[in-house]
């Protein structure tokens, strides 16, 4: 069913959604059918507020989404290990982050997952910050079975394209861009933008892009071609331009968030959007462009606060799950059924946490975590 041309069409639809967010639900439907899964969701979770934000979704029961936001986000045993171990671009299943026997024994599985007939999920991390992470998740129903090698390979194929589309969508603030006026719309961006052909020749640059070219500290023109001042970054970008000329799927994983150091040490990131098919092709019909390059300053990469806590006190993943449940829910009798472990096991982990953190009361643990979470809150 999924020949290369169908996959290419799906990838093209992902990039079209970068310019028109109304396309995300049908894209998630198509991705769910391809991976396959019962539903697809673009969302983020935050440890400071203990909240979940659903940006776009397909196939989910609205009542279960509501109960997740109100209750079960704090009971999800996969959340802490995902925040600790899932890096941007990683594709993970439940079993990669948590022993399945613990997952199936958890209150989250029994009360939220199983009643929907779901058994597993696979997700790709799209973005992270010091407090949260954003990802695309495809859930698996009983009829699909657990995540297997084919499922993982298909998600790994789509993941880089989702990352690129989401990064570019953020730059244009997710406003719909009319195809007939793409260049004019992009001219208004605060981010520098360049339209280039397969050889790297600049066929259009917005106002911010022209200013950046004039400074020649990050990018410049060499014989009319777009060039990064950093040699390796320049090579990676031009390889991406060549691939973009061959279609959306050909662009692959290269050219995603290319890091470009400037002459003064400031780091920039270049995101490349292919323009050779879909609605994007008609949007630049008056140009010979195969790709749009968006430039932005690289965000300061801070370790996640849970990672900071874990590394500071050398806590294991199981101990971190117990610690966060103690903070969010209460004592051992309350957290043991939530985690799907015996009270003896939970109490043993708690004693190890006390020893490693130099505390002796649960109230002290709450204060310790609150102190870490309040750092750099702004």
Helix and strand totals (H; E) in the chain: 17, 12
| Residues comprising the chain, all counted | 378
CA distances from 70 to 55, 66, 75 (A): 16, 6, 11
**Tens digit of pLDDT per residue, the chain (378 long)?**
456 667 888 988 998 888 788 899 999 999 999 999 999 999 998 766 678 999 999 999 999 999 999 999 989 998 888 877 788 889 999 999 999 999 999 999 999 999 999 999 999 998 877 567 889 999 999 999 999 999 999 999 899 889 888 877 766 543 444 444 555 656 666 778 898 988 899 988 888 899 999 999 999 999 889 999 998 889 988 888 888 877 777 676 655 678 888 877 788 888 888 887 766 766 655 567 888 888 888 765 555 677 788 888 999 888 988 888 888 788 899 888 888 888 899 999 999 999 999 999 988 888 888 777 665 444
Q: Cα 375 vs. chain centroid, distance in angstroms?
A: 24
The per-residue pLDDT for range 147-160, each reduced to its tens digit, is: 999 999 999 989 98
Q: How far apart are CA 136 and CA 257, in angstroms?
A: 18
The per-residue pLDDT for range 26-51, each reduced to its tens digit, is: 999 999 999 999 999 999 987 666 78
The per-residue pLDDT for 178 is: 47
Map tokens 């849970």 to a residue: 306
What is the value of pTM for the model shown? 0.74
Q: Cα 233 vs. chain centroid, distance in angstroms?
A: 22
Q: How far apart are CA 369 and CA 309, in angstroms?
A: 8
Cβ pair 13, 278 in contact under 8 A: yes
Q: How far apart are CA 146 and CA 134, in angstroms?
A: 23
Domains of the chain: 4-171 (3.30.450.80), 179-297 (3.30.450), 305-374 (1.10.10.10)
């Amino acid at each position: 069913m999924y020949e290369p041309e169908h996959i290419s069409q799906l990838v093209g639809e992902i990039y079209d959604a970068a310019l028109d967010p109304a396309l995300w639900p049908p894209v998630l439907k198509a991705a769910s059918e391809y991976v396959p899964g019962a539903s697809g969701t673009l969302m983020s979770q935050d440890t400071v507020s203990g909240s979940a934000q659903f940006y776009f979704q397909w196939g989910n029961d609205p009542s279960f989404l509501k109960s997740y936001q109100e209750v079960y986000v704090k009971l999800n045993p996969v959340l802490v290990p995902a925040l600790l171990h899932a890096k941007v671009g990683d594709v993970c299943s439940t079993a990669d982050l948590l022993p399945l026997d613990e997952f199936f024994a958890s209150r989250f599985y029994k009360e939220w997952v199983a009643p929907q007939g779901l058994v597993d999920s696979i997700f790709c991390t799209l973005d992270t910050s010091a407090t949260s992470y954003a990802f695309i998740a495809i859930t698996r129903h009983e009829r699909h079975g657990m995540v297997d090698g084919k499922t993982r390979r298909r998600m790994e194929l789509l993941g880089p394209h989702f990352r690129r589309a989401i990064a570019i969508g953020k730059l244009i603030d997710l406003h719909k861009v009319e195809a007939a006026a793409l260049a004019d719309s992009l001219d208004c961006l605060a981010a520098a933008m360049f339209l280039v052909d397969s050889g790297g020749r600049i066929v259009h640059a917005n106002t911010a892009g022209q200013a950046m070219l004039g400074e020649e500290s990050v990018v410049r023109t060499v014989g009319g071609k777009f060039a990064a001042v950093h040699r390796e970054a320049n090579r990676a970008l031009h390889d991406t331009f060549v691939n973009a000329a061959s279609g959306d799927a050909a662009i692959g994983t290269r050219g995603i968030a290319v890091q470009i150091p400037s002459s003064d040490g400031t780091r920039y990131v270049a995101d490349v959007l292919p323009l050779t098919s879909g609605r994007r092709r008609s949007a630049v019909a008056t140009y010979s462009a195969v790709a749009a390059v968006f430039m932005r300053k690289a965000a300061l990469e801070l370790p996640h606060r849970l990672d900071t806590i874990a590394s500071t006190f050398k806590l294991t993943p199981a101990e971190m799950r117990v610690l966060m449940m103690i903070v969010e829910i209460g004592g051992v009798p309350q957290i043991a059924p939530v985690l799907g472990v015996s009270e003896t096991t939970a109490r043993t982990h708690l004693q190890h946490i006390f020893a490693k953190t130099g505390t002796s009361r649960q109230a002290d643990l709450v204060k310790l975590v609150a102190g870490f979470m309040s750092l750099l809150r702004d």
